[in-house]
Amino acid sequence: MLQGDVRERLADLESGSVRCCVTSPPYWGLRDYGVSGQLGLESTPEAYCSAMVAVFAEVRRVLADDGTLWLNLGDSYAGSPVGTFNGGGFKDKSSKTGGRDLSGVATSGVMDKLKASGLKQKDLVGIPWMVAFALRADGWYLRSDIIWSKPNPMPESVTDRPTKAHEYIFLLSKSRTYYYDAAAIREPYAASTVTQFDKPYEGKATKDYAGVGVQNPSAIKKRITDKQRGHGRKHAGFNDRWDGMERSAQLQNGANKRSVWNVATHPYPDAHFATFPEALITPCILAGSAHGDTVLDPFTGSGTTGAVAIRHQRNFVGTELNPAYVELARKRINAVAPMFAQEVA
């Protein structure tokens, strides 16, 4: 754990020393964490994006050439106050429950600047995509947007739009080709899909929908349940072993992970702020790194990324501005691996 300004502490890390970065920066305009130098209180979305680009340029330096960045960001609304802007920062009035309050940004003292950015009161700002596009323009490969769907979202008192129940995770890579272990995060096939595979093919679909690019359904079924899937066509003895397996075992490899992740928010007992759930970032770490690799979180907070990384036999390095959060993170990581935590530099 490295305590201090992320823009300074990342400079202490060796270039190419990290395989994977999983992080959630302070959201723009959400709350004042009470620490000088904190990010997230910039006066305009553009200023926030510029700050994020600068931070993640340094993250890109410390990433291996085949490294990835998994970036969680939530959005906000122009002119819908979370707190009040008093000239020196936001005064936090948000709930301290398990989910982030994303109802918006402060109005007093900032609306003129927001208007200069082309925003009207009640506009959805679009911060996640603004940051993603800014990072892409700075050289990152923007590979995927992942929807974090929350079954237990924060309640909102709005009556003229749906309640916000999702955030984004962006998968970005340093290079065109990169480390990504798809097998580590494959999903079980849906029961309906397995049932469909068991039905005999009647041969109607190709007749009805024949055309360029249309695949014969039997070929699709064969591709998914192929006796040689993952093996050479002449893999000795595999057919016999396959025929002796239960259907559940034949399909245990599952499907490629989808881009909508349903994960409930969970409060961390010792934290007085929202944390991201371990179930949300576990797939990021499993897909983005191998055993023994180093995982980075430049905005460590309560230490969720570190705890998950250590639990899955990865190394971890984190930076955090707030000294109180550093101690909280070290305590949490020590609970997973008591021999891991080192004195804060």
CATH of the domain at 23: 3.40.50.150
DSSP 105-161: ---TTTHHHHHHTT--TT-B--HHHHHHHHHHHTT-EEEEEEEEE-SSPPP---SSS
Do 192 and 178 fall into the same domain?
A: no
Do 317 and 301 fall into the same domain?
A: yes
> Would you call 13 exposed, middle or buried from its count of C-beta atoms within 10 A (0-12, 13-18, 19+)?
buried
* pLDDT at res. 99: 40
Do 103 and 27 fall into the same domain?
A: yes
Q: Which domain holds residue 235?
A: 188-250
* pLDDT at res. 273: 55
Do 228 and 149 fall into the same domain?
A: no
Q: What does the longest C-alpha to C-alpha distance in the chain come to?
A: 74
pTM of the prediction? Answer: 0.76
Q: Which of 224, 250, 276 is the last residue of a domain?
A: 250
267 in Cβ contact with 275 (< 8 Å): yes
Do 310 and 331 fall into the same domain?
A: yes
Is residue 195 helix, strand or coil? helix
- Taking the C-alpha atoms of residue 115 and residue 119, their distance in angstroms, rounded to an integer, is 5
DSSP 236: T
Rounded alpha-carbon distances, angstroms, from residue 300 to 90, 162, 241, 305: 21, 31, 47, 7
Do 242 and 275 fall into the same domain?
A: no
Do 180 and 235 fall into the same domain?
A: no
Number of domains making up the chain: 2
* pLDDT at res. 106: 39
Cα dihedral 254, 148, 137, 62 in deg (nearest 10):
-70
Closest listed residue to residue 324, CA positions, set 261, 268, 271, 277: 271
Residue 294 counted as domain residue: yes
Question: Whose structure tokens read 């997230």?
Answer: 40
- The whole-number mean pLDDT for each consecutive block of 10 residues of the chain, a chain of 345 residues, reads 93 97 90 73 90 97 99 86 35 37 40 70 93 99 98 91 96 98 91 57 51 53 51 53 60 86 82 76 98 97 94 95 90 78 50
Q: Which of 250, 276, 300 is the last residue of a domain?
A: 250
* pLDDT at res. 39: 87
* pLDDT at res. 143: 99
Q: Which of 250, 269, 301 is the last residue of a domain?
A: 250
Do 110 and 223 fall into the same domain?
A: no
**3-state helix, strand and coil shares in percent for the chain, rounded to the nearest 5:** 30, 15, 50
Residue 343 counted as domain residue: no
83 in Cβ contact with 110 (< 8 Å): no
